[in-house]
Amino acid sequence: MNNKHLAELDLNKLIVLITGLLLAGLPHWQRLPIWIPVLHTLLLFLRVYIPFRYAGFWRQASSLIGFSRLVIMLLGILGVYASYGSLAGRDVGIALLVMLAGLKVFESKTKRDFYISAYLGYFLVITNFFYSQTIPTAAYMLLVIIIMTASLVRFNDVDESMSIVEQFRYSSTLILQSLPILLVLFILFPRVNGPLWGLPEDAYTGITGIDDQMTPGTISKLVQSNEVAFRVSFDNDIPERSQLYWRGPVLWKTDGRKWTMGKSADRQRPEPVRFSGNVIKYDVTIEPTNKHWLFGLEMVSAPPEKTHFTQDRQLKTDEAIRSRKAFTLLSNTSYLLGADSFDDIQRALVLPDLYHERTRKFAAELLQQYQEPELRIKAVLDWFNKENFIYTLRPPLIAGDMVDEFLFNSRQGFCEHYAAAFTVLMRAMGIPARVVTGYQGGEINPIGNYLIVRQHDAHAWSEVWLNDKGWVRIDPTSAVSPERVNQGIENSIPDLIIDMPLDLEHNAYVARLWQQFRNTVDMVNYQWAQWVLGYGPERQLLLLHRLGFGFIDWKKMTIAMIIFIGVIFLSIAIFIFTRPPKTVDLAKQYYDIFCKKMAKIGIQKMIHEGPIDFSRRICHSRKDLASDVNSITDLYVLIRYQSSFNKLNDFKNLIKTFSPK
C-alpha cells in the first residue's frame, strides 16, 4: 500500500484532509492578498479533479507535475515578496504557509506526502492564535483539529471498516481522551514570566490604543472603536464616573498642530505627590497594545512590579505589553501633585513662534481683565460654556492655524481640540500647562461587577500649574459637554457608533436584552482572559493554593505533573484493554439473535458448544439451512476471532434476513 499513489488508492481519503486545510486557512483569507487564498483553493481543487477525470494522465505526468510545482512555488514566493515587500515577518510567514500547504497537497503522491500535508494543517491551526485568542476562535480551531485528525483516521482505515461518522466519532474520542492530560499540563506545567519565544514586530500591527502624540482626529478615531482597552475589578465600590480618569501619556511639546512628549524623562525621579483620602485598590487587565503605557486611576501611589513612573507620573511597564496582562494598583483620587524642577514649569510655558496669533491676542485681553490664575482659568471655561462651541466626532477640516481656526471660526471639535486649545490659551496667559491623554469613565458590567474601559472612552484633558496647588487637572470638555464626564461618551455624542444590531437601540426592551447579552459575553471573556490567557506564575500559584497545595515550587509541580499524567495514561490503558471492542460486542449480539431464531425452531445452542460445532449440528439435522448457517458462522468467526470488522454490516444484514422455519 505504501508505494501506491493516492490517486490509485482512493481520492475520497483526500476530501477530509482538504476540508480541514480549507477551514484552517479560512480565517486568514481576510488578512491575505486575494490571490493567495484563490491559489490555495485552486491547488486543492486540482489535486482532486485531475486524478478523478484524468487518472491516467496524473500517473504518467509526474515530471510535468514536478516542474509545475517548482514554477508555482517560485512565482508564489515572488508574489508574496511583491505583496509584502519582504520575506520575513508574521504575515509573510503565514502567507507562505497557506500557499505551500496547498502546493504540498497538489504534489502529494505517497503516504509520506499525506502526513506532511496533515501536519501543515495543524500548523495552520496554530497560526490563527497569532491574531485571536478568543473563545470562538478556540472552539472553531478545535473543530478543525477534529477534522484533521479524522482525515488521519480515514487514511489509515485500510479495510474501510469505518463509516465517515465512525471516523469522526473516533477522532473526537481521541481529542476527548487528551483533555485530562491537557488540563494537567495547563495547571501544573511550571509557568515563566514572558513568552517562551518572540514574535516579529509585524505581529503587533493593527493594534489600536492611545499613542505618545496627539493631532486633530487622533482620539476621535479611537472613539469609533468598541474594542476593549482594559477591564478593572475594584476591591470595594466603583468610584463615581467623574473620578474615573485613567492617566496615560503626558504631552509637553507642540509645533502648532501636533503634541508630543518632548524630551525623554522615562527614568528620572517622578514628580512628588501628597495623597489624602481613602486608598482604592483594584486589578487592571489590559489588552495588548505593543506599548508601555499602563493606565491607572489618577493618581497611582506606587508602581507595581515590573513597572515604573516617568518624571511626569506616567505609569509604564518595563516591557511592551504584547499580550493580555494583569496588574494590581493602588490609587488616591485626592492628591496634590508637585513639580520636580523649575525647568519643567518653564517647559510648560513654551509656544511655537509664528503660531496662534489670534489666540495670543485673546489671551492678552483676558490677562488684563483677570489677575489671578484661577480667575483666568474660570474665564476660559465660562467662555467655552457660553459661546456656541459644539462637541462632535466629526468636526470640519481645519486649514491653517489649528488653534486659531478652532477657537474663532469652526468651534466644533472633540476632546483633543479642546485640550489643545485650552493648554495653548493657558500658556499664552503665563500659566504653565500640559496635555494628558488616557481614558475617562467606563462601562460597569453588573454581572461580573467590574468596569469595562473601551477605546471609545479615550480622552484628553489638561493640567495647569498653580503655585499653591501644584499640577491641577482641568478638563475643558466638561465645560462644553458635561455629559461626557458625568454620563459617559455614549450619552454625549448622538452620532457615536454603538454596537447594536439592526438599529434596535430605540427599542428599550431589546436594547436591555442586548446589553445583558453583551455583559454576559464580556464576563465570560474576562474570566477566559484571567484564568486561561492570563494564567501566569501568579495565577498558577493562586490556583494551586486554592486547591490546597500550599507552597509548591517548580520541582514539586513537575513531579506532580508526571504523577498525574502517569495515572491518566494508566487509567486510559486499563479502560481500553479491559473493555472488549465495540465491534466484537455487536457481533456477539447479532450472533445471539441468530441463536434465538434457531431456538424457536427447537435447535438450542449448548453452553459448551462453540459456533463451528453448533453449525455442524444444525447442518446435520437441517440440510436446508446449511448454506445460510455456514455463511453466518463463517462471518462470525472472521469478525470475532480474526478482527475482520469490515464484515460487520454484511453479518448484520445476513442475520436480519435469516428466517428458519
Residue 548 pLDDT greater than 70, yes or no: yes
DSSP, collapsed to helix, strand or coil, labels residue 131 as coil
Buried b (16+ CB within 10 A) or exposed e, 386-408: eeebebbbebeebeebbbbbbbe
Domain presence at residue 586: yes
DSSP 201: G
The pLDDT value recorded for residue 307 is 92
Question: Which residues lie below 8 Å from residue 175, measured CB to CB, with a gap of 6+?
Answer: 142, 145, 146, 149
How does DSSP assign 460-490, residue by residue?
EEEEEEETTTEEEEE-THHHH-HHHHHT-GG
In this predicted structure, which of 161-165, 244-248, 348-352, 357-361 has the lowest mean pLDDT?
161-165
Is there a single domain that holds both residue 521 and residue 466? Answer: no
The pLDDT value recorded for residue 505 is 58
Catalytic positions: 415, 459, 475
Is there a single domain that holds both residue 278 and residue 347? Answer: yes
Domain presence at residue 198: no
Q: Which helix (H) or strand (E) holds 445?
A: strand 443-445
Residue 440 C-alpha cell reads as 475617562
Contact 10, 157 (CB under 8 A): no
Q: Which of 139, 267, 244, 284 is nearest to 489 (CA)?
A: 244
Is there a single domain that holds both residue 646 and residue 559? Answer: no
* SS3 of 447-468: CCCEEEEEHHHEEEEEEEEECC
The pair phi, psi for residue 440, each rounded to 5°, is: -135, 130
**Residue 640 — pLDDT band, cuts 50, 70, 90?**
confident
Tell me the helix, strand and coil percentages in the chain, rounded to 5: 55, 15, 30
Q: Tell which of 545, 574, 603 closes a domain.
A: 574
DSSP, collapsed to helix, strand or coil, labels residue 444 as strand
Look at the block and give the residue holding cell 487518472: 55
Gyration radius of the chain over CA positions: 36
The pLDDT value recorded for residue 193 is 60
**Residue 63 — pLDDT band, cuts 50, 70, 90?**
low
How does DSSP assign 537-602, residue by residue?
HHHHHHHHHHTT--S--HHHHHHHHHHHHHHHHHHHHHHHHHSPPHHHHHHHHHHHHHHHHHHHTT
Q: Maximum distance among all alpha carbons in the chain? A: 129
- How far apart are alpha carbons 340 and 270 in whole angstroms? 7
Phi/psi zone of residue 274: left (φ > 0), alpha (ψ -120 to 50 degrees), beta? beta
Residue 153 C-alpha cell reads as 483516521
| HSE-up (13 A, CA, CB side) for residue 633 | 19
Q: Does this model's pTM top 0.75?
A: no
Q: How many residues does the chain have?
A: 661
Is there a single domain that holds both residue 512 and residue 494? Answer: no
Is there a single domain that holds both residue 67 and residue 22? Answer: yes
- How far apart are alpha carbons 632 and 628 in whole angstroms? 6
Is there a single domain that holds both residue 139 and residue 243? Answer: no
Domain presence at residue 311: yes
Is there a single domain that holds both residue 131 and residue 218? Answer: no
Domain presence at residue 202: no
Stretch 266-295: mean pLDDT, rounded? 88
Domain presence at residue 147: yes
Domain presence at residue 455: yes
Q: Tell which of 499, 524, 545 closes a domain.
A: 499
Is there a single domain that holds both residue 563 and residue 462? Answer: no
pLDDT digits (tens, 9 = 90+) for 492-508: 565 554 555 555 556 66
Stretch 626-649: mean pLDDT, rounded? 84
Stretch 40-45: mean pLDDT, rounded? 88
Is there a single domain that holds both residue 121 and residue 241? Answer: no
Neighbours of 492 (CB within 10 A): 21
Residue 205 pLDDT greater than 60, yes or no: no
- How far apart are alpha carbons 241 and 297 in whole angstroms? 11
- How far apart are alpha carbons 609 and 317 in whole angstroms? 80
Find residue 474's DSSP bridge partners.
Answer: 462
- How far apart are alpha carbons 292 and 482 in whole angstroms? 31
Domain presence at residue 87: yes
Residue 268 pLDDT greater than 70, yes or no: yes
**Alpha helix positions (H), 309-372:** 342-347, 357-369
**Residue 290 — pLDDT band, cuts 50, 70, 90?**
confident
Is there a single domain that holds both residue 438 and residue 329? Answer: yes
Residue 208 C-alpha cell reads as 489600536
Domain presence at residue 508: yes
Is there a single domain that holds both residue 29 and residue 148? Answer: yes
Domain coverage including residue 98: 6-156
Is there a single domain that holds both residue 186 and residue 267? Answer: no
DSSP, collapsed to helix, strand or coil, labels residue 624 as helix
The pLDDT value recorded for residue 547 is 76
**Residue 487 — pLDDT band, cuts 50, 70, 90?**
low
Number of domains into which the chain is organized? 5
- How far apart are alpha carbons 480 and 418 in whole angstroms? 9
Mean pLDDT of the chain: 83
The pLDDT value recorded for residue 357 is 92
In this predicted structure, which of 83-92, 489-498, 531-540, 611-620 has the lowest mean pLDDT?
489-498
Contact 305, 237 (CB under 8 A): no
